[in-house]
Each structure stands twice: as C-alpha cells, then as structure tokens.
Amino acid sequence: MQLYLPIADIPVNVFLILAMGAAVGFVSGMFGIGGGFLMTPLLIFVGIAPAVAVASVASHIAASSFSGAISYWRRRSIDPILAVVLLTGGTVGTALGVWTFTLLRALGQLDLLIATSYVILLTTVGGLMFWEGLRALLRARRGGAATIRRPGSHGWIHGLPLKMRFKRSKIYLSVIPVVVIGLIIGFIGAVMGIGGGFILVPLMIYVLRVPTSTVVGTSMVLTLVTMIFATLLHAVTNHLVDAVLALILMIGGVTGAQFGARAGQKIRGEHLRLLLGLLVLAVGIRFAVELVIRPADLFTIRETGGGV
C-alpha cells in the first residue's frame, strides 16, 4: 500500500515502513537503546532525505522508549533518582554539544569528524561489550557463579565524595560520575545526532556498576526525555519532522518494543550484553567498511535550497 508523505515528499510502502519500525522497536525494547543509529540509515536507504529521516526518527524513538519505559516501570526496573541525576548532566552536555557542533561546522570537515568518531565509538564500545559478555558467558559455562557483586567494584569511582543512595538500583554512589556520564551522553548525542543509549548502557553497567535489571529501564527514561526535546527542536528550527512517517514508525516501533522488552527480560544479562555488543560492533564495522572500501559511486548530489 503506497502512501504519500507530506513532508518527505515521496510515496512509500506503508507495510515496509511498519516492518522497519517494528524491527528496530524490538531491538530498542530489548536493549533499552533508542535505535536511531539503525533506523536513520534504513530510512535513507528507502529514499527519504537524511534531514527528514533524522528529524522524524526522534519522535519514533520517543514513542518506543515511552512504551518500553512504562513496562519497565511496572516491573519496578527504573531508578527515577538515577534518571534525574543523569538528565541534569545530559542537559548541560546537550547545550555544550550544540555549541561545539556550530563551531566545528564553521571550521569545515564536520562530516569526516562525525564519520570517524562514529566508527571509533561503535567499534570500541561494541568490541568491549562483546568481549566482556563472552568472558562472563565462559565463566558461567565453567561453573563459576556469575557474581552480582563483581570483583573490583570498589574502584576509585566509589571513593568520590557527594555520595548518594540510589535505592531502586541498590547502589551507594557519588553523583559526580553520574552527572559526568550524563554530560558525555548529551554532548555526543548533540554532536553526532544520536540518542546515545548504546553508549549509556555499557557506561552504566561497567563504570557505575548499576545492576543490569535497572540499567535498561533507566536508560529508556533518559532517551525518552532527550528525544522529546529533539522532536520539538527539529520541528521548530528545520520544519522537517514528517508526522505521517513518524506515526507509521511509532505504531510499528511500540509494537516491536513491547515484544523486545519481554524478550529482554527473559534473556540472561550476560547474553543480553553479548548480543548488544555484537550489534553495536556490527554497525561500527559497517561504517568502517564504508569509509575504507572504494564507494560504488564517487559522486553524490545534495540539494542546498535556493528554491525558485
């Protein structure tokens, strides 16, 4: 069934977009990530202009993460205090990121910087997660108990002042690293145009030692708030949010996210981390290949406005 999109200005197959929304929604519900780094390239592949894709995906991620967040909330796997502290840092980080973005664009070569940092970030984070997940899995296979309190969990991070009790996560931690992580995510998200969930989740697991049970739900709350703001910002500044495209993606996305969240609860923590690591690593390698291999067409066209 073909439908003409009012802002993207092209006809699309509704069922294809629904299926794409559902697939990405499943992944995002399962891992507690936004999935923007998967959805945006898919939409561009279908023929939607990159700017419209980025702007519309933000609202799709908001819907998916809200539906996911509700089911995690019912299972009491969201730490509201942790989410608020992370958001405090995130807001400052986003502002800093937007400022840096403008500065970098003025200097030129922003595209290259974004592409290379994407590759470095995705392959590093993905590789580390994959490796850690693999080790945890082997440890469990050998019969050693998969310990909840991991060794070395009292590193220098836990020596920092301004400690605070995060009841739901059952951790007692300084707010400094939490705010800093929020800041980093906000900054990276604004500069690279991604929600940052796939970086936030490993940072919370490995640096803050937040139990896997509350990581996913809490990260979803952060993604939700960021993406709502991103939607508003895109709608006000570029007028490029395609509400019809967004609605189709949302319907597919929330459905997928429900099943994803359920699947995520069933899978063991180590398996989940291993799978997410593999996914992030795969996307990172795909971007790396794109940079290194000779492109099929060396030329690209971009409309720069001007009008009639």
Alpha-carbon span 58 to 47, nearest angstrom: 18
28 interacts with other proteins by CB under 8 A: no
Q: Which one among 10, 120, 138, 160 touches other proteins, defined by CB under 8 A?
A: 10
Q: Which one among 189, 231, 273, 281 touches other proteins, defined by CB under 8 A?
A: 231
Residue number with CB closer to other proteins (148 or 291):
291
64 interacts with other proteins by CB under 8 A: yes
Task: Name the phi and psi angles at 305, rounded to 5.
Answer: 80, -155
Q: Which one among 114, 207, 235, 285 touches other proteins, defined by CB under 8 A?
A: 235
Q: Which one among 62, 121, 125, 215 touches other proteins, defined by CB under 8 A?
A: 62
Alpha-helix runs per DSSP H in 142-174: none
Q: Which one among 19, 112, 146, 162 touches other proteins, defined by CB under 8 A?
A: 112
Half-sphere exposure of 272 (CA within 13 A, CB side): 25
Minimum Å distance from CB 56 to other proteins?
9
295 interacts with other proteins by CB under 8 A: yes
Q: Which one among 28, 40, 65, 77 touches other proteins, defined by CB under 8 A?
A: 65
Half-sphere exposure of 128 (CA within 13 A, CB side): 13
Residue number with CB closer to other proteins (54 or 175):
54
Closest CA to 89 of 165, 187, 167, 158: 187
Q: Which one among 258, 264, 277, 280 touches other proteins, defined by CB under 8 A?
A: 258
User: Contact at 8 Å (CB) between 203 and 280?
Assistant: no
Half-sphere exposure of 41 (CA within 13 A, CB side): 10
Please state whether 167 falls in left (phi above 0), alpha (psi between -120 and 50) or beta: alpha
The residues in 115-134 that bind other proteins, with binding defined as CB under 8 A, are: 115-116
**110, two tokens:** 């922003």
Classify residue 164 by its DSSP letter: E
Residues forming contacts to other proteins in the complex (CB under 8 A) are: 2-4, 6-7, 9-11, 47, 59-60, 62-71, 74, 111-112, 115-116, 227-228, 231-237, 239-241, 243-244, 246-247, 250-251, 254-255, 257-259, 290-295, 297-308
